[in-house]
């Protein structure tokens, strides 16, 4: 029982990170109907910016933890948002009226370009970070096993819940959210109603990049090891989470991320670490066979 609870905590933590990245996929798909395959690299850049910011703060002598976390978060969000905006302007906007295959190839090319950009500027070696938040709370203890909920896990889960609530409120109750929902339904009609579609799409990419930056900072603090190739795997997992929950649905993206994190944690804990990815993609295949729109997705209705 104790081991089960520990893996549950680990799975929820990992699922929170997947969910934050998956929201970026589902927001972009909801508006332009395309997958941003460079989103994983945006998350990777956020992780590198976080570790560089932590290093610079250490050099300058900033040691008060709340201030350091806020400053690193702001640096990661601002600069990563700029990269997300650039991806939309370079890889998507010029091809918006073209076939979807052209935009897909452009996004894959941008993904490879960002990977090699970080490789050239930061090197191929891994970057490490010493634990920033230490300690934890003992949830359950038996004779030979102790379930610990670390403070960094509490921070990740609570921050994810807070961001999910903020973004859900923003999309449901603000003018930007109404513009995004209008563009999702019909970009042509939204333009006729006075909505700046280009700006709305750019802001959507920026919002997705902000969440990817937060995920990059959290994974840097949680694992303490990053490399230039980490975006490809995490992006693929987050895309799987978005499809699993229902591409285009924000709650679905978070649900898919949580489910994927739990599947990986329990499979690695009870069966084999080497095959946890097989289990994740196997769950995706089963869900798509019986629920083609995902767990919370809605089937597309063709407008005539």
Question: pLDDT (tens digit, 9 = 90+) per residue, 172-182?
Answer: 889 999 998 89
Q: In the predicted model, what is the mean pLDDT of the chain?
A: 89
Residues above pLDDT 70, as percent of the chain: 98
Q: Quick one: which of 66, 111, 76 has its CA closest to 92?
A: 111
Local structure of residue 91 (DSSP, 8 states): I
Q: Taking the CA of residue 27 as centre, how many other CA atoms within 13 Å lie in the half-sphere pointing to its CB? A: 31
Cα–Cα distances (Å) from 284 to 3, 207, 244, 249, 260, in that order, read 26, 26, 6, 16, 9
Cα–Cα distances (Å) from 160 to 66, 67, 223, 256, in that order, read 17, 19, 17, 14
Token pair 């090197």 is found at 123
Q: Enter the tokens of residue 123.
A: 């090197």
* Mean predicted confidence (pLDDT) in 139-165: 88
> Which of the listed ranges 22-26, 31-35, 57-61, 218-222 does the model predict with the highest average pLDDT?
218-222
Name the pLDDT band for 304 (thresholds 50, 70, 90): very low
* Mean predicted confidence (pLDDT) in 86-104: 86
Predicted confidence (pLDDT) at residue 185 exceeds the cutoff of 90: no
- Amino acid 30: pLDDT: 80
* Mean predicted confidence (pLDDT) in 136-151: 84
* Mean predicted confidence (pLDDT) in 65-74: 91
Q: Quick one: which of 34, 10, 22 has its CA closest to 239?
A: 22
- Amino acid 299: pLDDT: 64
For 2-290, CATH gives 1.10.3470
Q: Quick one: which of 16, 82, 70, 79 has its CA closest to 47?
A: 79
Rounded distance, CA 93 to CA 85, Å? 10
Cα angle vertex 127, ends 123, 128, to 5°? 165
Rounded distance, CA 62 to CA 52, Å? 14
Rounded distance, CA 265 to CA 7, Å? 6
123-127, 176-180, 250-254, 296-300: range with lowest mean pLDDT: 296-300
Name the pLDDT band for 289 (thresholds 50, 70, 90): confident
Predicted confidence (pLDDT) at residue 303 exceeds the cutoff of 60: no
* Mean predicted confidence (pLDDT) in 81-86: 94
Residues above pLDDT 90, as percent of the chain: 48
- Amino acid 156: pLDDT: 94
* Mean predicted confidence (pLDDT) in 44-61: 92
Name the pLDDT band for 3 (thresholds 50, 70, 90): confident
Rounded distance, CA 291 to CA 126, Å? 39
Q: Helices 276-290 & 230-245, crossing angle to 10 degrees?
A: 30
Q: What pairs with residue 149 in β-bridges? A: 137
Name the pLDDT band for 103 (thresholds 50, 70, 90): confident
Name the pLDDT band for 40 (thresholds 50, 70, 90): very high
247 compared with 17, residue with greater pLDDT: 17
Name the pLDDT band for 301 (thresholds 50, 70, 90): low
Local structure of residue 98 (DSSP, 8 states): S
Question: Is the Cβ–Cβ distance between 109 and 90 less than 8 Å?
Answer: no
- Amino acid 300: pLDDT: 59
111-120, 129-138, 206-215: range with lowest mean pLDDT: 129-138
């Amino acid at each position: 029982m104790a081991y089960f609870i520990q893996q549950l905590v680990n799975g929820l933590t990992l699922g929170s990170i997947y969910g934050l990245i998956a929201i970026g996929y589902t927001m972009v798909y909801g508006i332009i109907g395309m997958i941003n395959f460079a989103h994983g690299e945006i998350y990777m850049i956020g992780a590198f910016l976080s570790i560089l910011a932590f290093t610079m703060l250490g050099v300058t002598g900033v040691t008060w933890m709340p201030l350091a976390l806020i400053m690193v978060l702001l640096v990661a969000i601002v600069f990563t948002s700029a990269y997300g905006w650039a991806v939309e302007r370079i890889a998507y906007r010029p091809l918006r009226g073209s076939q979807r295959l052209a935009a897909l190839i452009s996004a894959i090319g941008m993904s490879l370009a960002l990977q090699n950009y970080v490789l050239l500027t930061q090197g191929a070696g891994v970057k490490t970070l010493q634990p920033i938040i230490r300690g934890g709370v003992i949830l359950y203890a038996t004779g030979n096993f102790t379930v610990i909920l670390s403070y960094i896990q509490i921070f990740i889960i609570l921050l994810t819940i807070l961001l999910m609530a903020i973004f859900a409120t923003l999309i449901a109750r603000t003018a930007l959210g109404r513009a995004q929902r209008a563009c999702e339904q019909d970009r042509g009609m939204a333009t006729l109603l006075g909505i700046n579609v280009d700006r709305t799409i750019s802001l959507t990419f920026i919002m997705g990049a902000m969440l990817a930056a937060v995920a990059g900072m959290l994974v840097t603090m949680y694992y303490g090891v990053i490399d230039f190739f980490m975006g490809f795997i995490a992006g693929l997992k987050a895309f799987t989470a978005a499809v699993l929950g229902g591409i285009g649905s924000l709650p679905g993206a978070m649900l898919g991320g949580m489910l994927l994190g739990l599947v990986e944690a329990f499979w690695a804990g009870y069966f084999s670490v080497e095959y946890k990815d097989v289990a994740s993609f196997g769950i995706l295949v089963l869900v798509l066979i019986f629920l083609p729109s995902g767990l919370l997705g809605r089937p597309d209705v063709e407008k005539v």
